[in-house]
Amino acid sequence: MAFLTPFFLLGLSAIAIPVLIHLIQRERKRVVEFPSLMFVRRIPYQSVRRRRIRHWALLLLRAAAIALIAAAFARPFLRQGAAAAAVGGGAREVVILLDQSASMGYGDHWDRAREAARTAVRGLGNDDRATLVLFSRNAEEHMRATADRSRLEAAINAAKAGSDSTRYGPALKLADSILSRSSLKRRDAVLISDFQKSGWSGSEDVRFPDGITVNAVSVGAPGTANLAVPSVTFARASFSGQERIAVTAGLSNKGDAPLEDVPVTLTIDGHEIQTEHATVGAHASGSVTFTQFTLTGSNVRGSVHAGSDLLPADNTFHFVLTPSAPVSVMVVDSGDRSDASLFLSKALSIGTTPTFQVDVSPASRVTPPALEKRAVVVLNDTMFPPAGGGGALERFVERGGGLLIVMGDHASWPQGEADLLPGRLGATVDRTTGRSGSLGYLDYSHPVFEVFKAPRSGDFSAGHVFRYRALQPGPTDRILARFDDGAIAAAERKVGAGRVIVWTTTLDDTWTDIAVKPIFLPLVHQLVRYLAHYEPATSWVTVGQVLDLNARAKDRSNRIVVTPSGDRITQSGAGQGNEGLLELSQQGVYEVRWSGAAAGRPEAIAVNLDPVESDLTPLDPRELVAAVTGRATPTSAQPAVAPEMTREEAERRQGLWWYLLMTGLLLLAAETVISNRLSRREKFL
């Protein structure tokens, strides 16, 4: 032990005072002369000179009080404590990362996580600062750099497990930014989670600098079993002018044991329609298809519920169904062959989402009214239809129609309609000699080819191109695809509200064999969907998505949004910026009531958990810590240089003087009481 002001230890010499008082007994200053103490001496007493210390406890009490008070003034502190504190680096900056994703609702994970957070708060020193960050897919500060433990605990108590998926990257990045800006020497991050593997891909590009410690607190339990309904699909069919839907629910068993006879219930507008029983093997998937039902109106709410387990949130899947309207497509060909548009019409006839209502007509017989009713017009290897002349086709496109121009032997383009064509046509390029051509470049950022971006989504290079028309694109035209020789295979031009795409080879088997390749059908569907501005009716969205209600509202009217938990959010249709955005943070069905809308059911938006959140496979926390800190061992990081703590700082942190002073004063009070009682009992002092 060391002392900040050792000079005050001289006060310990005052301990001799009570000893002397006990022995010498000079406290009686008043002397009374008496003729003779002959009789006084006969009364039993102790001579002062022969006096010995009788009340050892009282003497020790006084001596202890003096010693403690003198020691308090000397300001002691423990060297070992100071060294430990110096090694630790003094005050800490702590970031508590609390996972509130949907998977934390499994069993008691959330309660244990909050308790771990409270433990971290209780472990804070007087000079430490802590930030509470709640994260799931995103991360958000809930209490910034405070030493107020009560506020931190209150924030922890108020936190709830959410419905969003898990991503550790944003939380760790936020912690990194907070800790990197801290001026304190010790910086710790406490990550409390079930460490779901799906939340960490390893490519989050998060790396803490040296000196930051990451403590991983796992609340996950081994051997979690979870049944989930990750998705549903709908088979639509038309019957007697009505659309009938067959719902197929997918089941996913993430547990080690098979699940047998699991009840799976389909509910439509609150009515249980049908219950099936399914058996799903361990770590396997299954499905249940329900009987078709007739879709009678729009915004029909449905849900599929399967079994029960410790994570009930993913046992229910919500959806909203609206009857789909077919996309009207007019295929205009040359008419010289009956099968000129066979491949095209066949491909479009297979579509279900959407269905395509295809009419094939020779160019000579196309009438302007026929164009008006269409979503997309395909000029399939034909001349410019006379009905489209005079700007009729251009007006069709300008009003939002889609135009697909397919080149071929018969295709031609009048000079007067050059504004529609995405470029200037050139000569036919023959690739029949030598190696045939193929598609070599696709703009995967374009909505047409975006769906093909993922690996094994379609092999465009398998198709052979024998001939194509050369195309010189305009400055504003977008190149969508090129052949292997660099020539343009597809280009787009936007005209007004509509879109025009030119395909410089055929969509049959005359100039290319793409029509007989598996890629043909999805290519055609994507081209037509894009040109038709087709947005598939989303039966559900995932928690965390943000909807722009202003974009959905044709007249930008005001609306009231009712969340699944019953909260009401009022939005103004005339709002600017983020006013019209609705963050879907809860699982369930949101209702949007548009002001001025006709009476009827409100628009419903079904929101479901991200299916990956149902996979509770844990990640080894050490792996995450190692990836983030760059250290393989999960031990606390030592600061590069242990800062030297001053004696004053060490003493101030320990504050022993306060306890010594209080104890000394208490002893003095006790001594006063005891000595008064003893003096009353004794005849002599």
Partner 1 sequence: MQQQALPGARFVDPKILMRIGNLELLARNVVEGFINGLHRAPYFGASIDFAEHRGYVAGDDIRRVDWRLFARTDRFYVKQYEADTNTNLSVLLDISRSMTFASRGVPKLEYGCFVGGCLAYLAQRQRDRVGLITFDDDIVSHVPPSAKHFNVVLHTLERAKAERPGRLDVPLHKMAEHFRRRGILVLISDFYEEPDAILEAIKPLKFLGNDIIVFHVLDPAEIDFGYEDASSFEDLETGEQVPVVPESLVQEYRALMQAHIMALTTRFSEHRIDYTVLNTAEPLDRALFSYLSSRERLMRVR
**Shortest Å, Cβ 73 to partner 1:** 34
DSSP state of 240: T
Query: What distance in Å separates the CA atoms of residue 623 and residue 621, rounded to the nearest whole number?
Result: 5
Would you say 47 or 676 has its CB closer to partner 1? 47
Strands in 532-632 per DSSP E = 541-542, 546-548, 559-562, 568-571, 581-583, 588-594, 603-608
Choosing from 50, 52, 554, 683, the residue that interacts with partner 1 (CB under 8 A) is: 683
- Of the pair 35, 241, the CB lying nearest partner 1 is at 35
The Cα angle at residue 476 between residues 472 and 480, in degrees rounded to 5:
65
Task: For residue 456, state whether it binds partner 1 (rule: CB under 8 A).
Answer: no
CB of 24 to partner 1, least distance (A): 11
502 bridge partner residues: 405, 491
Neighbouring residues of 472: CB distance < 8 A, sequence distance ≥ 6:
423, 424, 426
For the sheet with 271-280, list strands across it: 271-280, 259-268, 300-306, 316-321
H/E segment holding residue 134: strand 129-135
Instruction: Check binding of 677 to partner 1 (CB under 8 A).
Output: no
| Closer to partner 1 by Cβ: residue 32 or 641 | 32
Site for partner 1, residues 488 to 507, rule: CB under 8 A: none
Least distance (Å) between residue 66 CB and partner 1: 24
Stretch that binds partner 1, among 23-31, 112-120, 136-144, 511-519 (CB under 8 A): 23-31
Closest separation in Å from C-beta 50 to partner 1: 11
* Structural contact between residues 491 and 501, judged by C-beta atoms closer than 8 angstroms: yes
Which residue, 35 or 223, has its beta carbon nearer to partner 1? Answer: 35
Q: What is the per-residue binding string for partner 1 in 228-247, x denoting contact by CB under 8 A?
A: --------------------
Nearest approach, Cβ of residue 38 and partner 1 (Å): 5
Q: Which stretch binds partner 1 (CB under 8 A): 24-32, 285-293, 544-552, 636-644?
A: 24-32
Give yes or no for a contact between 561 and 571, defined as CB atoms under 8 angstroms apart.
Answer: yes
Nearer to partner 1, 48 or 57 (CB): 48
For the CB of residue 15, give the shortest distance to partner 1 in the complex, in Å. Answer: 23
Angle at 605 between CA 601 and CA 606, to 5 degrees: 120
Closest distance of CB 54 from partner 1, Å: 14
Query: Residue 285, SS3?
Result: strand
Residue 48 or 418 having the CB closest to partner 1: 48
Does 435 contact partner 1 by CB under 8 A?
no
Residue position matching structure tokens 């996972």: 99
Interface stretch with partner 1, choices 27-35, 103-111, 397-405, 424-432 (CB under 8 A): 27-35
Give the x/- contact pattern for partner 1 in 30-69, rule: CB under 8 A. Answer: xxxxxxxxxxxxxx-x-xx---------------------
Enumerate the β-bridge partners of residue 362: 333
From the list 25, 457, 563, 572, which residue makes contact with partner 1 (rule: CB under 8 A)?
Answer: 25
Instruction: Judge whether 269 and 253 are in contact, CB under 8 Å.
Output: no
Query: Taking Cα atoms as reference points, which of 399, 594, 380 lies closest to residue 505?
Result: 380
CB of 672 to partner 1, least distance (A): 17
| Closest separation in Å from C-beta 48 to partner 1 | 6
Cβ closer to partner 1: 43 or 599? 43
Question: Which one, 19 or 235, has the nearer CB to partner 1?
Answer: 19
The token pair at 528 is 């037509």
Residue 323: cis peptide before it, omega within 30 degrees of 0:
no
CB of 651 to partner 1, least distance (A): 45
Contact 420, 426 (CB under 8 A): no
**Contact, 388 vs 419, CB < 8 A?**
no
| Minimum CB distance to partner 1, residue 46 (Å) | 9
The β-bridge relationship of strands 541-542 and 603-608 is parallel
Nearer to partner 1, 37 or 427 (CB): 37
Place of tokens 């803490």: 208
Footprint of partner 1 (CB under 8 A) = 25, 28, 30-43, 45, 47-48, 682-685
